[in-house]
Amino acid sequence: MLKFVATIAKTMINRFKSFVDGRASVFKNFLALGILQGTNFLIPLIIMPYLVSTIGIDSYGVVSFVQVVMIYFFSLTDYGFAITATQEIATNKSDLSKVSKIFSKVVSTKIVLVLFSALSITLLLFVVPDLKEEQLTVILGFALVIGQTSLPTWFFQGMEKMKYITYINLAAKLIFTILIFVFINEKSDYPYVLFFFGLGNLLSGVFGIFYAIRNYDITFRLATVREVQSELKKGWGLFVANFSITSYMNSNLFILKLFATNEIVGYYSVAEKIVMAIRQLLSVFSQAIFPHICQLVHDSYSKVVLFFKQVYIPFTLVIILVCISIFLFSEEVIGIFAASEVEGINNLLQILVFVPVIVCLNIFPSQLLLAYNLRRAYTRVMIFGSVLNVILNIALASQFIAKGTALSVIITESFILVGLYLIVRKGKSMIS
């Protein structure tokens, strides 16, 4: 009997090893991306209890509000390169001459977009009263845009070599964490929170760029005006789609600020950040498998479907279990991050915790549409979802405040889920 059990166990282990070995680059990429991007949300999550207790829930709400503004500008500077540049690098990674051209054009375009963002945020300081009141927080917070933009994650993701930039990122985040605990000691220190966060990313990004140039024989040159225009034109559709995603993910807090106090904004921010930590895991998973999907589409549709069945379905089941656990033990989870504010946050978290499940179900149709270059259909769904989210936010937040905001997110994500699957079903003949 023991011999039989041992034989079965050995067979299962060998099959699992064979499965992993066949997809080693995907698993390594997922692990590296998980560490890289996970720290961008986990570390703020870890220091959240300290910040809430030190600067107060109202100032934490202000920091979160300004952070949302910066995320909009980061969406502009990213301009869809997380998809377009990654896809180009992945399909040309054996040709270093082409890789150098792609690298130079993307970095040059990002520089132009950062300068445009700096000019835009300067103008906003004069016309938006809420931003003018927090002028120092906004100016220092722009470091977040510069830092996020400098990260060459798209390059290493396309090359499926994430290990080294992951190490650099961890070191930078450690510096950020130390700066927070050393310099954020009282309520009046809150304007510096986003500055330290951006500084950590900037250090990571600069080292990452130099590492890429040195170790992959990248010949960098500033792109011409025509090349930058070409990049902007090429990525326009995805930028609109991604900006729509950013809008429906972040306009929630922005619109809530119109109807709620800083304290309530702080409650929603804490619940949202807990959920965003899970959503970041979904983003990492999606980004990690995308280069592999891009390669599989050149083989056959059946291979793509098989890959999703073997990797995506188990991952989805894990996410569902995690979300159910958080729902059941929501008070205990909140107690870890904001013990004194459990009552104000609990109901919001119990609504928002189902968002990652819906988003996870979106990964399959999204990857298919992007990998098969059906970006226009993908963009349309995201634009409609963004518009719907703004309308729902205004209508529900004005009546139910933070709960209305949370409900609008659930409804919007459900709409996007249905829309994407309907498009995949309609265009299945084109894909397969």
Q: What is the pLDDT of residue 119?
A: 95
Q: What is the pLDDT of residue 26?
A: 58
The two structure tokens encoding residue 384: 């409609």
Q: What is the pLDDT of residue 13?
A: 42
Q: What is the pLDDT of residue 325?
A: 94
Packing angle between helix 24-78 and helix 236-259, nearest 10 degrees?
A: 70
Whether pLDDT at 14 is above 70 = no
Whole-angstrom distance, CA of residue 366 vs CA of residue 62: 33
Whether pLDDT at 296 is above 90 = no
pLDDT in tens, 127-150: 888 888 889 999 999 999 998 888
Q: Are 58 and 192 in contact (CB under 8 A)?
A: no
Whole-angstrom distance, CA of residue 82 vs CA of residue 11: 39
pLDDT in tens, 210-266: 888 888 888 888 888 998 998 888 888 778 877 877 776 778 888 888 888 888 888
pLDDT in tens, 388-431: 988 999 999 988 899 999 999 999 999 999 999 888 887 665 55
Residues above pLDDT 70, as percent of the chain: 87
Give the count of beta carbons closer than 10 Å to the beta carbon of residue 48.
18
Confidence of residue 432 (pLDDT cuts 50, 70, 90): low
Give the residue-averaged pLDDT of 103-119: 93
Range with top average pLDDT, 33-47, 60-74, 159-173: 60-74
Q: What global pTM score does this model have?
A: 0.69
Q: What is the pLDDT of residue 112?
A: 94
pLDDT in tens, 58-106: 898 889 889 888 988 988 898 888 878 888 888 888 788 888 999 999 9
Q: Are 286 and 367 in contact (CB under 8 A)?
A: yes
The two structure tokens encoding residue 263: 């304290």
Q: Are 124 and 131 in contact (CB under 8 A)?
A: yes
Whether pLDDT at 1 is above 70 = no
pLDDT in tens, 206-220: 888 888 888 888 888
Position of tokens 């106090």?
A: 261
Whether pLDDT at 11 is above 50 = no
